[in-house]
Structure 1
Amino acid sequence: MSSRPDTARRTSLPPLDPGRFAPSADRPVRAKARPLARQADIQPHHHAWAQLVFSLEGTLRVSTLRPDGSGTSYLVPPAQAVWIPPGRTHSVTAVERVELRTVYLAAPQATQLPDWPEGRVMAVSPLLRELVQALALLSEQATLSAEALAREQALALLVRDELLRARPVPLGLALPGERRLRRLCEQMLAQPGRHADLEGWAAEVAASPRTLARLFREHLGTTFGQWRQQLLLAQALTLAARGRPVHLIATELGYRSPSAFGAMVKRTVGVSPGQFLASA
């Protein structure tokens, strides 16, 4: 299945006053709200505290980067969040218009949670969603009364408890540091259904299919087909979050029938498409 390149204009944005929302000893968990237009990018940055990022509506792409240029990209619908460990460089892209919500946790608070050094995707419970909403309203204020501070601290305790209980979601696409393969992976992320095979993509990045297959093995430890399957699963969740039924999702992802798409989902994650997409 092919499609035209996405011509939406990208907008690069700096982080929104990160120091203003920085967690501290007396306010160790802070939250903020930020709307993002479609195709808006928050530039790569890092900070000393841990971060949880998700959207109330719209799909996000969150990328974490290592010093060598490799990293992981997460394509997440509103029902899921990405955990980013302290010090990890990261960027955020709005695949469509989103209502961004971010939680910052000071290092002492983050270390009370399990060790997630590489980041992870987790489900956002209805309670966690509402807790972050309430916390963001308080975090907007530079100073709080004693009563408001006590409320913020109580909300912070509940947020941490919900993070401990959050169900992990096995999604995340490794991104290579190697220039040619990175270009290919970025193009596939932008247009997952553009080509179904490596030959189609090879023509666009000026490399042979054999070379690209070798680069997938050497730099990502996987095959093109396995990497693409993970991308299609993430895209399927995004489409499900927009209300698409299974048969239309299968068509948009280039499958000839819903049963072929269902077989891929069952083989990859071990559950039916209905069970898998219900998480979105």
Structure 2
Amino acid sequence: MNRPSRRRSVPPIDPLAFAPSTQQPLRFKLRRLAADTRVDPHSHPWAQVAMSATGVIRLQAGHSTYLVPPTRALWIPPGVEHVVTVLEDAEIRTLYVHPSARFLGPAADTPFQRWTACRVLEVSPLLRELVAHLDTEPGAAAPDERQACLGALVLDELQRAAPVKLGVELPQDKRLRQLCEAVIEAPTRWHTLADWSREVGASERTIARLFRSELGTSFVQWRQQVLLAHAVALAARRLPMAYIAAELGYASASAFTAMVRRTLGAPPTQFFA
């Protein structure tokens, strides 16, 4: 039976050192953290876009949790408390976005008008390169012309980034929350709801009822979202589909492919591209 390793908790970097402003609506922070590190819960009065250049991180924000490999980013609105857990050694790139930031184009609306909830976005190669060239120095100095242009292009790439339906909703009930967090930690430890229910000391019938009332879904459907999130993290390491299927407890790659098609309406090769 797999057991989660003991994690080391660290405080967030002083957010005021990277606070965005009307003069500098986009700020960039770089942080390298080792696997099994957890950044304590925190929130900001501005929005943020969290991504990783290398490694996989898990972000719990609001009532959902997200696995974020280098091919994805997570938009977190202002005031939403979030926790970062590093699953592999990671270079975490964080964009802080001021409410005055505006997209390019005739509409010139803001991310805040479009995205009022957490949102998973695809990270294009261009976005990854643009972010890598943003200034990482703390302080509130106004950006030079080059940094201002890079910031405008970053916002434009964010505007164009395709949303990805990839997030795992978390419940409020303490017993169900404990079970869900255990599944997210090690989704293949058990395969049936009966086994997972015994781990939290509740009946299978009670847990099934809580899934329906709290999350509006069945355990099987909810666990499939967890498996897909883990599959994205594994695919980011360019592992073969047969290996990913076996890691997630499927008897064959074809069985895993059938689940992905059934859940997402697309084959794994398209979804994980």
Q: TM-score, normalised by structure 2?
A: 0.94
Q: Letter of the aligned partner of 2:263 in structure 1?
A: T
Q: Letter of the aligned partner of 1:226 in structure 2?
A: Q
Matches within 5 A, 1:176-195: 176-195=171-190
Residue by residue over 1:67-123, the C-alpha shift from the partner in whole angstroms, topping out at 9 and shown as x without a partner, is xxxx01011211100000111111111111111000001112166125222211011
Structure-1 residue corresponding to 2:3: 5
Residue 236 (structure 1) aligned with residue 234 (structure 2): no
Q: Letter of the aligned partner of 1:275 in structure 2?
A: Q
For residue 139 of structure 1, report the CA deviation from its aligned partner: 3.6
Uncovered stretches (5+) of structure 2, i.e. residues with no partner:
103-108
Structure-2 residue corresponding to 1:26: 23
**Structure 1 SS opposite 2:156:** helix
Structure-2 residue corresponding to 1:50: 47
Residue 125 (structure 1) aligned with residue 129 (structure 2): no
Distance 2:215 2:139 in 1: 44
For residue 277 of structure 1, report the CA deviation from its aligned partner: 2.0
For residue 143 of structure 1, report the CA deviation from its aligned partner: 5.8
Structure-2 residue corresponding to 1:40: 37
Uncovered stretches (5+) of structure 1, i.e. residues with no partner:
66-70
Q: 1:256 to 1:17 in 2, by over 3 A?
A: same
Residue 75 (structure 1) aligned with residue 75 (structure 2): no
**Structure 1 SS opposite 2:29:** strand
Residue by residue over 1:5-54, the C-alpha shift from the partner in whole angstroms, topping out at 9 and shown as x without a partner, is 12x22011111111000001211100010011111111111111000001
State which of 191, 195, 200 in structure 2 corresponds to 1:200: 195
Of structures 1 and 2, the one scoring higher in RCO (CA 8 A, sep 6+) is 1
Paired residues in the alignment total 266
Residue 140 (structure 1) aligned with residue 137 (structure 2): yes
Q: Letter of the aligned partner of 2:166 in structure 1?
A: L
**Structure 2 SS opposite 1:249:** helix
Structure-2 residue corresponding to 1:112: 110
For residue 141 of structure 1, report the CA deviation from its aligned partner: 4.7
Q: TM-score, normalised by structure 1?
A: 0.91
For residue 142 of structure 1, report the CA deviation from its aligned partner: 2.6
Q: Letter of the aligned partner of 2:180 in structure 1?
A: C
**Structure 2 SS opposite 1:108:** coil
**Structure 1 SS opposite 2:243:** helix
Distance 1:208 1:45 in 2: 35
Given that 2:27 and 2:96 are in contact with CA atoms closer than 8 Å, whether structure 1 keeps it comes out as: yes
For residue 190 of structure 1, report the CA deviation from its aligned partner: 0.6
State which of 56, 61, 76 in structure 2 corresponds to 1:59: 56
Provide the identity percentage. Answer: 50
Residue by residue over 1:157-186, the C-alpha shift from the partner in whole angstroms, topping out at 9 and shown as x without a partner, is 111100100011110011111100000011
Matches within 5 A, 1:219-234: 219-234=214-229
Given that 1:86 and 1:107 are in contact with CA atoms closer than 8 Å, whether structure 2 keeps it comes out as: no
Distance 1:13 1:141 in 2: 19
